[in-house]
Structure 1
Amino acid sequence: MVALGRAAAELTAEEVDAVTSPWEARGLIPALVAISAAFGAWSLLLPVVPTAVIDAGGSESLAGMSTGVFMFSTVATQVFVPRLLRKYGYRRVILVASVLLSLPALGYIAGMSAPLVLGIGVIRGIGFGALSVAESATIAQLVPWRLLGRTTGIFGVAVGAVQMAALPAGLGLAGIVGYGPVYVLAAVIGAVGMAACLWIPAIQQPEAEGEHGSGLQVPVWRLVAVPMLALTFVTTAYGAVTTFLPAGVRELDPASGAVFAGVLLAVVNFAAMLARYFAGAMLDRRGVPGTVMIPFQISAALGILATAAVLYTEASVWWLVPASLLYGAGFGAVQNESLTQLFYRLPHSKASEASAMWNIAFDAGTGLGSTIYGLMLAGMSMAPMFGIAGAVIAVGVVVTVADRVLGRHRVSEVNNLSVRLRSVQAPRFYRRGGR
């Protein structure tokens, strides 16, 4: 009760500024637990529900739509979450969202009919949408901005570790005990977030800053479009990987394909976990996010194109391991780079909006990928579909390169986080010595 009372006290700006390490931040651990539970409940069922639809006699289009409607409702919800956070606070939003994400998973036990699958997907998507925005925005409120890179990296490691375990565990458990217990487990994991949110401190809302005080005004979309597009293009492939790669691997290796597909999903998230922390550490070291964005975008594109080549040539499934490592590394680093770029380009008072934009880009990409690529499979095989997914990521590389070149001549918003970071960062030699 003492710990709960301490957590219930409002977290002030002065207390945040005094933090010298992410692990000193009050509320970091329960926030890690809450966000890990949310992504665990999501990841556990992400490949399971489409596979269950197909095993129940449903079409590949319905399998893709099961993920697509989930992500669509997620994105639609995320638009309104910043307003809800300001009105009701972080903990209330997280609590209600945890209920919507966890309990409806039990409804899958009743069957895999289209109305049931899509209806449950919509409800759970609303919960996941609110959770993902609230918890990502929490990151930016718990620590001072000079520690933003490592803190987002820590959250990336937590989420990656959960996904690395949950994605293969869902398919593996379904093969051993059936789908029903997996749905129950997803509900239990989601419920953990409901308990953890009680220990997240009430967060003092930052006051709106005079970011346009100098008279220089830039439309917000110019600041956020490129990071959002880069993330969206990479996550379209994630929708294809999580939804259809298990089926593709089973075609290559009917005997052990289902288990190996789970291993590949774990490989993707293991690489993503390491790359997210690396990208965050590079931000704290260099003081500017986005410095490793382009190399990791290229890595993601190469990984998906390599996957397409393996499926086309019907080569050994073991060649999918390095392909998954390449894509996973790009997938993870682009996540962290795009998130910190959004926090970096917008004022502190717009942290919840930056979080919403990032989550919308992530989930829109995942949903579009699972839906559109699922529709493509009605007229083509897996290999060309993954080839198209790799080409889409390559388009994102072109966009980012163009933005990097043109950005040298672009007027940017003033009094934003970029200015603030330059004012608070220690000299580079001091930062290295302190680490």
Structure 2
Amino acid sequence: MPPPAAVMKAPAMPPTTRSEQPGSSSLWHLPALRRQIVLALLSFGGFFVTLSSIPLWAVDGGVPEGLAGLATTVMLAATVATQLFVPAMVRRFGQPVVLAAGLIALGAPTPLLLLDRDLWWLLVVSAIRGLGFAVVTVLMPIVATQIAPPGRHGEAIGIYGLAIAIPNLIAIPLSVALTTAGHFAVVAWIGALPLLALPLIRSFPAPAPVTTDPRDPGAGRARVPVGALTGITLVLLVITMIGGGLLAILPVQLPSGSLATVALLLFGLTSAVARWRSGVLADRTGSRPLLVGGLVFAVVALLLMSGGLLLDPGPTRTVMVLVGAAILGVGYGAVQNLSLLVSFVLAGPDRRATASALWNATFDAGTAVGALLIGAVAAGAGLGPVLAGCAALVAATLLPAWRSTPR
């Protein structure tokens, strides 16, 4: 899923040229960043194209509907378990080797899904792909910070987040349409796209030297400051739980399938744009006011959607749900990017891999827990009251967000 360096200036670093100053030129012109965008499109395209199609393929092959989702569960469980070990693998084998192994593990097994539709085989292939996805999700944000000049890391991560949102919006509906039409073989081969990204790895710059600027909150630390990261990790956990729950339960709770579809489309589009633009703004103003502002947006949006869902079906209800979904996407996307930036600042430049692993594991775990927990509660109480409770939960993270974010 789903998208890391200091948002503060580092005076101890050598002076930058005018083209390197924040906001002075577009990062889209950097060849290395364009190559990373291609890598993100290929790797995440290969991931998202099978996310919804494998369960369809499994059911069509005789797997009970109640067990079809196990393939996704196993893949994400393998992802979360592996993400925490990626920093150690990088220290042992080096970043290029580990990233290449991740792309191979994510893409190479996918065509093997065509060999058998027994559940055990689908689970084995999915678990291997989860190992590769763990590596890609942890290392790709770090590559973005290695490409971008000082003071532009927020923008670089935002562009990366925008790049991974594109296959999310396109690959999932395309894969469902192809599988439903009996063309899962095409989907399986598309899932091997990460292999095409292998030649791009050596074109990325090496990690920058570690800064010793004493004004950098994480400079020179031997270990990741777990205590300092607790607050921002809690913020991320809450917002991803709500996002995961909304994606899972909104289509079930809304009587109109078209309303749920449009609401989720607006949520996805605004979150992608917010993740990108919040990074640009963070480079200029710092993360603290933007992070708190994103959480406030989420609170307002959840209350708006909650109020709309408590109304009888009609134009007012529709407008409140759609506007709320769009505003929630802004808060959701902004908090994603900014929490990652803050985690990198707190951990220090020499511990970005560990901070990225913690962030990604929290993101995936929060999404999975939210889909289960919020869905279960909404099934009994209704989604309207549950979203009001979620708004209160997000409001409770405002103080931790403010205190854990460096000035």
Task: State the TM-score, normalized to the length of structure 1.
Answer: 0.73
Consecutive unaligned residues in structure 1, runs of 5 or more: 1-12, 413-417, 423-435
2:200 alignment partner in structure 1:
196
- Following the alignment from structure 2 to structure 1, what is the Cα–Cα distance between the partners of residues 217 and 272? 37
1:281 alignment partner in structure 2:
280
- Following the alignment from structure 1 to structure 2, what is the Cα–Cα distance between the partners of residues 340 and 31? 18
- Following the alignment from structure 1 to structure 2, what is the Cα–Cα distance between the partners of residues 287 and 373? 33
Question: Equivalent of 1:185, from 178, 181, 190?
Answer: 190
- Following the alignment from structure 2 to structure 1, what is the Cα–Cα distance between the partners of residues 73 and 145? 29
C-alpha distance after superposition, 1:102-149 (max 9, x if no partner): 122223334554323322221111100011111111122222441122
- Following the alignment from structure 1 to structure 2, what is the Cα–Cα distance between the partners of residues 386 and 120? 38
1:79 alignment partner in structure 2:
84
- Following the alignment from structure 1 to structure 2, what is the Cα–Cα distance between the partners of residues 177 and 16? 58
C-alpha distance after superposition, 1:182-226 (max 9, x if no partner): 222122x32233233242233345378878999999982222122
C-alpha distance after superposition, 1:362-411 (max 9, x if no partner): 1112233345567x49xx7498478647745642431x223256x3xx8x
Match runs of 1:321-360 below 5 Å:
321-360=322-361
Question: 1:57 Cα shift?
Answer: 5.9
**CA distance change for structure 1 residues 114 and 89 in 2, over 3 Å: closer, same or farther?**
same
Question: 1:153 Cα shift?
Answer: 1.6
User: Is 1:395–2:398 an aligned residue pair?
Assistant: no
- Following the alignment from structure 1 to structure 2, what is the Cα–Cα distance between the partners of residues 364 and 84? 21
Counting aligned pairs with the same residue, the percent is: 25
Count of residues paired in the alignment: 385
**CA distance change for structure 1 residues 233 and 30 in 2, over 3 Å: closer, same or farther?**
same
Question: 1:299 Cα shift?
Answer: 5.2
The residue type equivalent to 2:203 in the other structure is W
- Following the alignment from structure 1 to structure 2, what is the Cα–Cα distance between the partners of residues 139 and 185? 25
Q: Which moved more, 1:278-287 or 1:127-136?
A: 278-287
Match runs of 1:244-393 below 5 Å:
252-253=256-257, 265-289=264-288, 290-298=291-299, 301-302=302-303, 305=306, 309=309, 321-370=322-371, 376=376, 381=379, 384=382, 388=386, 391-392=389-390
2:217–2:348 Cα contact (<8 Å) kept: no
1:293–1:337 Cα contact (<8 Å) kept: no
2:41–2:167 Cα contact (<8 Å) kept: yes
The residue type equivalent to 1:70 in the other structure is M
SS of the aligned residue for 1:38 comes to: helix
- Following the alignment from structure 2 to structure 1, what is the Cα–Cα distance between the partners of residues 181 and 115? 19
2:71–2:126 Cα contact (<8 Å) kept: yes
User: Is 1:225–2:226 an aligned residue pair?
Assistant: no
- Following the alignment from structure 1 to structure 2, what is the Cα–Cα distance between the partners of residues 207 and 284? 18
**CA distance change for structure 1 residues 133 and 218 in 2, over 3 Å: closer, same or farther?**
closer
- Following the alignment from structure 1 to structure 2, what is the Cα–Cα distance between the partners of residues 357 and 153? 19
- Following the alignment from structure 1 to structure 2, what is the Cα–Cα distance between the partners of residues 50 and 390? 32
SS of the aligned residue for 1:203 comes to: coil
Question: 1:275 Cα shift?
Answer: 0.9
Question: 1:68 Cα shift?
Answer: 2.4
Q: Which moved more, 1:158-167 or 1:270-279?
A: 158-167
- Following the alignment from structure 2 to structure 1, what is the Cα–Cα distance between the partners of residues 229 and 101? 29
1:70–1:124 Cα contact (<8 Å) kept: yes
Question: 1:322 Cα shift?
Answer: 3.9
The residue type equivalent to 1:282 in the other structure is L
